[in-house]
Amino acid sequence: MFWFDPKYLLFVSPAIALMIWAQFRVKSTYARAMRVDAKLSGAAAARYLLDQAGCHDVNIEETHGTLSDHYDPRHRVLRLSSDVYHNHSAASVGIAAHEAGHALQHASGYMPLAIRSAAVPAAMFGSNAAMILIIMGIFFGKFFLWAGIIAFAAFVFFQLVNLPVEFDASNRAKAMLTEYNIVDGNGAAAVRSVLNAAAWTYVAATLQAVMTLLYYISRAAGGSRN
């Protein structure tokens, strides 16, 4: 069947291997960085950085899960997982500062973030509709197949735009934590390790999306309907 084609594995296997390695790196660097002390908890560090930037209206909330931290631009809320919210560690302040970086992007009108936010509805629709349309294309012709490819391309576009947004937030976090002396030299190294490892997960996800899109295009262009 179309979606079990071994050719698909040939396309995406590098991205899958990269994702497995990146996730292992995130877990291992996070565990090590949680043992490196910091002067503030993740929540306190985020609050301090936001206040220094004049973002007093951004609230900070505790949320459930592990590494479930995120910034909600619609409600201007920074949500931190319990470990990050409470712990005084390099991992906690690094992740909190990264999410604070997104809030600062929002406050400054950082264009890639605005584009990413605008692309979210199309990306969600594209990721959900693409497979349905592609399966329909197998049975009913290339019109549906190409429609599915276009829908999936919206998701790929979101992933591509997401990369500079995440990299910029990490760069802001590293700079702010050092500038305000929230971490020492050892802490700064631990923060870099965690955020750099996380960056590779974004790269792997984007690579997988791009290679999947290329696979769909190659099948459509090749005319195979097996």
Over the chain, what HEC string results? CHHHCHHHHHHHHHHHHHHHHHHHHHHHHHHHHCCCECCCCHHHHHHHHHHHCCCCCCEEEEECCCCCCEEECCCCEEEEEHHHHHCCEHHHHHHHHHHHHHHHHHHHCCHHHHHHHHHHHHHHHHHHHHHHHHHHHHHHCHHHHHHHHHHHHHHHHHHHHHHHHHHHHHHHHHHHHHHCCCCCHHHHHHHHHHHHHHHHHHHHHHHHHHHHHHHHHHHHHHCCCC
- Asked whether the beta carbons of 75 and 121 are under 8 A apart, the reply is no
Residue 135 to residues 70, 139, 140, Cα–Cα distance (Å): 34, 7, 9
| 61 labelled catalytic | no
**Catalytic residue selected from 61, 62, 99, 179:** 99
Residues annotated catalytic, as ranges: 99
